[in-house]
Structure 1
Amino acid sequence: MSGTRSQTDVTAAMREAAHALLSVLDPAQVRQLRAGPGRLDAPELREWTYLPGRRPGLCTEGLDAGQRAAVDALLATAHSAAGAELARGAIEVERHRRGTTGSPDADRYWVRLLGDPAGDAPWAWRLNGHHLAVHVLVTAAGIRVTPHFVGSEPARISTGEQSGRRLLGPEEGLARELVTDLDAGARAAALFAATPPDDILTRDDPFADPGRLPDGLTYAHLAPRQQRLLERLLRRYLDRAPVPYADECWSEAVARGLGSVSFAWAGGLAPGDRHYYCVRAPDFLIEYDNTQDDGNHAHSVWRHIRHDWGIDLLRGHYTEQHGGPRSAP
């Protein structure tokens, strides 16, 4: 649980880390960091991808050790200890992938800053690259950290120093334990396709549409042991975030009632089979697939239906500070 740490502590640490990063960059790098209009009402706030390719912002390739350490410190502030380990793991697995393809280049992730971390106005930052997409919005009222995407290619490393590593193993294992524990009738309700989709269904859409996801089997129809498994799976994703925010999201989910939360699966049930699952809740959704490269290439995403990009906080800020929501995105 959150203990004595609050979202205020998290935002203070994040602000300090952002200033520390700015302090070690030269003017040209600062301009790259703030690439684009740099305004929170610009469309770029909601533009993202988890595929390979360039992004606007400051590329980590070519940064010196001190500058890269400052980026890493900022990235850590958007996560719990376990979440930060997962984000670092996505970078490490990507290094392994590049090495196996004969391209052991430097890490290529792009950091972008929108707004100003000084003062009380809202501001945002992100770190994006292949298989890692972290988006953060900061206001005086708190933070938002979704969409949050982590991928792993390969899903299971079979060679080299990281041999045997399964970065998203818990995300896969908890869901498989749940679906295989269901009786025949419940499993029939949870399984929506014999062949899984080739990617997460919401892709990199600016706004996540829960209507794209299958209905699945609801929490209310699970046995107590299965309900606990689904709770653990939910917390696995929410707990990527800083503890105070993760606890807030969980408390809101419990208060709204877990009974309508649903779980759906597609594909094979045995380890190594190509598969997909999703979890739908009133406020957020989770997707996971391990279908590409013959079931050795995993994607996972946590989206908040109301909170993605911090839209709710921005509207609240503009309403309070500027007399109406018209200035919000």
Structure 2
Amino acid sequence: MKKNILLGFVLATSIATALTGCGTEEESQTSSVNEQAESTETESAESATKMPDGPPSGGGGMGSATVDTESIVTDVAATLDEEVSVSAEGASVDEQATKLAQAFLATLSDEQVETIQYDLTAENAAVWSNFPVNMVQRNGILLGSLSEESLKAAKALFYTALGEEGYEQLVMNLEAEEELGESDSGYDADLYYVSLLGEVSDSSTWILQVGGHHYANNFTFNAEQTGATPFFVGTEPQSFETADGETVEPMAVHKSAIYTMLDSLSEDQLAEAEITDKFDDVLVGPGNDGNFPAESEGTLVSSLSEEQQELVKEAIEAWVSDVNEEDREALLEAYYAEDAWAETYIAWSGSTSSEDQGSYIRIDGPRVWIEFAVQGGIVFDDVHFHTIWRDKLADYGGEFSSQ
């Protein structure tokens, strides 16, 4: 594990040479982070410490973020095989998560508590990215900066929010960072962040943010709407072997489901579903909250055969399954409601092959929004994937306007 990490120069150089394939969307989001205003200071009743005024400073352009690698005390990768079990029969996910978040905070030092908590504002919530952490600042503290006790408590919280499949997705992304780190020292499982926005209590809305390179999860609790989005997940490389010889494919389920859906379309259906615009990344990624197209494009799912419609559902569930069972059921019920399903579209652009840079697929409903974009390689030669799942009504639990 690399603890003395030289962040910036090699990574910034390699990514700068590939901006046409990977940086356009991220550049727009870093610009958005620069423009974020500071929020009003409040006191947390739970921690009795002052939350940061607003988004962390230094969140501007490439290479501008500060990463405190000197604070790393725990090898996160060495803990990924540890079993995580949470038992809270009868309690709702919101109740479980609130209790676990409070237990997590109790393991932290006063300084860490102050660093990890933020006011619940749209400006603070929008501080997330898929860029490497040394290029765009994140809220909170590094997972590697947590003690073993604190990391164990954090993982129990993650598991409760994400469920078994979602937690496994997070682990695979962390393993992918270790694989990238073998070729470039700017990547590491230690370099993911965790933060809490809002007062963590049963009577208050609060957000759990977990993220780093190619992963950003924004999970909202005690909100009016079930909030499991925005959720960005991507991967490079597509597959790799761990030290134990296990083959890991972080995006295999997502890729298979959405391209199986696309492959089921006839030539006429493909022609109707094609978008003439080309996309080198997801459209509504970081820094683009609420910037959905004014009009839906593609072909209506309701015009497809029953078998094809089931494949669309399987594609949607590839993303929604990365959420605990309770919230998953609520979200799918909303997405599959008769009136919503009648206004849901699928579309594609560029190529119908997952091996082609510029291949792009979209699912667009009154609420559900999923994008899959094939990027050129950054660290490796092969293409890699960017995806985003959003909910037009319930991003950040519906706390802030998203349309």
**TM-score scaled by length of structure 2:** 0.69
Check if 1:235 corresponds to 2:322: no
User: Does structure 1 retain, via aligned residues, the 8 Å contact 2:163–2:322?
Assistant: yes
Q: Do the aligned residues in 1 keep the contact of 2:207 with 2:220 (CA within 8 Å)? A: yes
Deviations 1:193-237 (A, max 9, x none): 5x9522111121352333178601211221221111001111221
2:398 to 311, 314, 324: 311
1:147 pairs with 216, 222, 230, which one? 230
> Where does 1:11-22 land on structure 2 (aligned, <5 Å)?
11-22=94-105
Structure 1 partner of 2:66:
none
Q: Matches of residues 1-329 of structure 1 in structure 2 within 5 Å?
A: 9-34=92-117, 38-41=118-121, 43-53=123-133, 54-102=137-185, 105=188, 107-139=190-222, 143-157=226-240, 164-193=247-276, 196-211=278-293, 215-255=297-337, 256-274=339-357, 275-293=359-377, 296-312=383-399
**Preserved contact between residue 374 and residue 383 of structure 2 (Cα < 8 Å):** yes
Relative to structure 1, the CA distance from residue 259 to residue 142 in structure 2 (aligned partners, 3 Å threshold; closer, same or farther) is closer
C-alpha distance 213-286 of structure 1, shift in aligned 2 (>3 A)? farther
Superposition deviation, residue 163 in structure 1: 6.6
Compute the displacement of 1:240 (Å): 1.5
Instruction: Give distance in 2, aligned partners of 1:299 and 1:7.
Output: 37
What code does the residue aligned with 2:313 have?
E
What is the identity, as a one-letter code, of the residue corresponding to 2:383? N
Q: Secondary structure at the match of 2:105?
A: helix
Where does structure 2 lack aligned partners over 5 or more consecutive residues? 1-87
Contact 2:261–2:308 (CA<8 Å) still a contact in 1?
yes
Asked whether the 8 Å contact 2:285–2:388 carries over to 1, the reply is no
Compared CA separation, residues 238 and 7, structure 1 to 2 (3 A): farther
The residue aligned with 1:324 is: none
Per-residue CA distance 1:29-51 (angstroms, 9 max, x = gap):
111112xxx22236212332121
Q: Output the CA distance in 2 between the equivalents of 1:104 and 1:47.
A: 20
* Contact 2:257–2:318, Cα closer than 8 Å, also in 1: no
Distance change (3 Å), C-alpha of 1:163 and 1:127: same
Tell which deviates more after alignment, 220-229 or 112-121. 112-121
Is the Cα contact below 8 Å between 1:7 and 1:143 reproduced in 2?
A: no
Name the aligned partner's letter for residue 252 of structure 2. Answer: G
- Measure, in 1, the Cα distance between the counterparts of 2:132 and 2:375: 18
1:106 to partner: Cα distance:
5.2
Q: Which runs of 4+ in 1 moved over 3 A?
A: 5-8, 102-106, 140-143, 158-164
Question: Would the aligned equivalents of 2:172 and 2:248 in 1 still touch at CA under 8 Å?
Answer: no
Give CA deviations for 1:167-211 in whole Å, capped at 9, x if unaligned: 111211122222222111101112225x95221111213523331
Read off the aligned partner of 1:19 and give its amino acid letter.
Answer: Q
Report if the CA contact (8 A) 1:288-1:301 is conserved. yes
* Count of residues paired in the alignment: 306
The CA deviation string for residues 266-301 of structure 1, in whole angstroms up to 9 with x for no partner, is 233345223211100101200111222165211121
2:121 and 2:396 map into 1 onto residues whose CA distance is 11
d(CA) in 2 for partners of 1:6 and 1:211?
Answer: 42
Q: 3-state SS of the aligned residue for 1:66?
A: helix
Q: CA deviation at 1:126?
A: 0.9
SS in 1 for 2:254: helix
**1:318 maps to what in 2?**
none
2:279 and 2:223 map into 1 onto residues whose CA distance is 40
- The question of whether the paired residues in 2 share the 8 Å contact of 1:191 and 1:264 is answered with yes
In the alignment, residue 220 of structure 2 is paired with which amino acid? L
For structure 1, which runs of at least 5 residues remain unmatched after alignment?
316-329
Amino acid at match of 2:397: G
Q: Matches of 1:248 and 1:106 in 2, distance apart?
A: 32
Higher normalized helix content (fraction of residues): 1
SS in 2 for 1:100: coil
1:160 and 1:277, CA in 2 relative to 1: closer, same or farther beyond 3 A? farther
One-letter amino acid of the structure 2 residue matched with residue 60 of structure 1:
L
State the AA in 2 paired with 1:44.
N
Q: Distance in 1 between matches of 2:188 and 2:242?
A: 19
**In the alignment, is the contact (CA less than 8 A) between 2:219 and 2:228 conserved in 1?**
yes
Amino acid aligned to 1:303: R
Q: In the aligned structure 1, how far is the partner of 2:164 from the partner of 2:158?
A: 11
Rounded to whole Å, the distance in 1 between the matches of 2:303 and 2:310 is 13
| Aligned partners of 1:202 and 1:212 also within 8 Å | no
TM-score by length of 1: 0.84
TM superposition shift of 1:102: 4.7
| Structure 1 stretch displaced more, 267-276 or 243-252 | 267-276
SS of the residue aligned with 1:232? Answer: helix
User: What is the CA RMSD across the aligned residues, in angstroms?
Assistant: 2.7
Q: Structure 1 residues 231, 160: CA separation in 2 closer, same or farther (over 3 Å shift)? A: same
Letter of the aligned partner of 1:45 in structure 2? A
CA distance in 2, matches of 1:215, 1:125: 33
After superposition, the Cα gap between the structure-2 partners of 1:265 and 1:140, relative to the gap in structure 1 and judged at 3 Å, is closer
